[in-house]
Chains A and B, each alone.
Chain A
């Protein structure tokens, strides 16, 4: 049963930030509410004030610039990202990822910002944004600060958002030449939450050159979306081979810290990570060569 709360629907960002400041500690922000309302229904969250930012048109934009990269307002829905021609063109991996995120109904109403702020380690957008080296803008009355997506998540359902702060924008730098990005999640039922998920981006020095840069991000493999930095290390600067990718998988599997739950045991998740890091790495490599 959802608790009673006082409801505000600010029309401007400024107004919203003012409300956050005023009700510090006792509020919850609702955007699409696709995750929040479930938790409120279960009585896990009982805010006194609910600040509905769904109507803030200021945060509803996708801007793309060849030099500066991509900027996405935090209220952009999953479906808008999935369908955006600009994103399909320049960051196809985001559309691909969104296409398999939950159901169309959820994607139609849920926002990318809400998904990130929910802080579920099994979410799909975070690992993809980490592989893309994304950053976030957090805004409060005091001003703005930038944080890397990979630094935003602290623990299960816990993020770096301070009281009074709101996620307002996601930035993704332009992809360097010869870069390929791929993401895959493993699940038993299609489009379900990831049992584990793996995102890899590979930048080659030249079409058939060595690996100049690599980023590997894992979903549901630790209490927060994580980067598999040791696994990256083994690939960076080398000519990528199947064997090397297998090794990266082994290492990623070791540096991960997955849980055992009803959907999979820790051991099985580690097995999956080995396979997926290799497979997704192969796909990213292929794409890098094609790009």
Chain B
């Protein structure tokens, strides 16, 4: 039996009816069409499905959608504001912090939640922040450099 679910995703409130077994990632992708968030495994190990839920990075494949009832969620689609890229997105572009791009939405979500909590991190803290996200292309170091550049104030949020 479907149950009511209320979510605020990227600032937009939604009211949905979902099967209890629906995972948050399934609702985001299939019901809301937010396919920026990907899935990469069945074992909660790759981090590709990471989104920001009430300010925290979480794996949307490992949360029942109903458990997120009432939550505010940010996905990769919600990072850019008013047609302006988020500083992390700009840094990812400049530092080549993506290749195939499939892990990038989750990587950005982890990075954003982390910098919101810890704006002046050390390199090791950045590595800890994205340790739950597998990237098979870049070898991570360019991602670490991009996040560091944002933390160091190299990129400003455009208003």
Physical contact A–B (CB less than 8 Å): yes
Q: Which residues of A contact B113 (CB under 8 A)?
A: 104
Q: Which of A234-288 contact B (CB under 8 A)?
A: none
Binds B, one of A2-10, A84-92, A118-126, A208-216: A2-10
> Which residues of chain A are near B42, meaning CB under 8 Å?
38, 41-42
The B contact surface, by secondary structure, is: mixed
Kindly report which residue of chain B lies nearest to residue A99, judged by CB atoms.
Answer: B128
Q: Which of B3, B110, B128 has the most CB of A within 10 A?
A: B128
Q: Are A3 and B59 in contact (CB under 8 A)?
A: no
By the criterion CB–CB under 8 Å, are B63 and A33 in contact? yes
A291 at the interface (CB under 8 A from B): no
Residue-wise, chain B 1-29 has the 8 Å CB interface mask toward A (1 for contact) of 10100000000000000011101000000
Instruction: Determine the distance from Cα of A38 to Cα of B19 in the docked complex, in whole angstroms.
Output: 18
Q: How large is the interface on B (under 10, 10 to 19, 20 to 34, 35 or more residues)?
A: 20 to 34
Contact of B66 with A9 in the complex, beta carbons under 8 Å: yes
**Chain B, 33-64, CB within 8 A of any chain A CB:** 42-44, 47, 50, 53, 56-59, 62-64
Select one of A5, A42, A55, A105 contacting B50, CB under 8 A: A105
B78 within 8 A of A: no
How far does the Cβ of B80 sit from chain A's closest Cβ, in whole Å?
Answer: 22
Closest to A83 in B: B117
Instruction: Count chain A residues whose beta carbon lies closer than 8 angstroms to a beta carbon of B.
Output: 29
Q: In the bound complex, do residue A109 and residue B132 qualify as a contact, i.e. CB atoms below 8 Å apart?
A: no
* CB proximity of B76 to chain A, nearest CB, Å: 15
What B residues does A132 contact at CB under 8 A? none
Task: Let me know if B66 and A7 touch, CB within 8 A.
Answer: yes
A6 adjacent to B20 (CB under 8 Å): yes
Kindly report which residue of chain A lies nearest to residue B61, judged by CB atoms. A37
Question: Does B138 count as interface, using CB distance less than 8 angstroms?
Answer: no
Task: Say yes or no: is A224 at the interface (Cβ < 8 Å to chain B).
Answer: no
Number of A-B pairs, beta carbon distance below 8 Å: 84
Instruction: Give chain A residues whose Cβ lies under 8 Å from the Cβ of B62.
Output: 33-34, 37-38, 105-106, 109
Q: Are A108 and B47 in touch, CB under 8 angstroms?
A: no
Q: Are B132 and A102 in contact (CB under 8 A)?
A: yes
Does B129 count as interface, using CB distance less than 8 angstroms? yes
Residue of B43, B57, B67, B133 near A108 (CB, 8 A) is B57
Q: How far is the CA of A30 from the CA of B50 in the complex (A)?
A: 20
A7 to B66, CA, bound (A): 9
Q: Does A54 contact B (CB under 8 A)?
A: yes
Closest to A52 in B: B67
B114 within 8 A of A: yes
Inter-subunit contact B110/A104 (CB<8 Å): yes
**A108 and B58: CB pair below 8 A?**
yes
Q: Does B141 contact A (CB under 8 A)?
A: no
Assembly CA distance A174 to B85 (angstroms): 50
Within 8 A of B (CB), among A89-144: 99, 102-106, 108-109
**Closest chain A residue to B1, Cβ basis:** A6
A256 to chain B, nearest CB (A): 27
Look across to chain A and name the residue whose beta carbon is closest to the beta carbon of B129: A104
**For A79, what are the chain B residues with a Cβ–Cβ distance below 8 Å?**
56
Q: Which residues of chain B come closer than 8 Å to A6, judged between CB atoms?
A: 1, 20
Residues of chain A with a CB closer than 8 A to B99's CB: none
Q: Which residues of A contact B23 (CB under 8 A)?
A: 2, 37
Q: List the A side residues contacting B131 at CB < 8 Å.
A: 103-104, 190-191
Task: Please tell me if A50 contacts chain B, counting CB pairs below 8 Å.
Answer: yes
Question: Which residues of chain A from 166 to 186 have a CB within 8 Å of any chain B CB?
Answer: none
Given A37-B64, A105-B47, A105-B132, list of 9 further CB < 8 A pairs? A6-B1, A30-B64, A33-B64, A38-B62, A106-B59, A108-B56, A108-B58, A109-B62, A191-B128
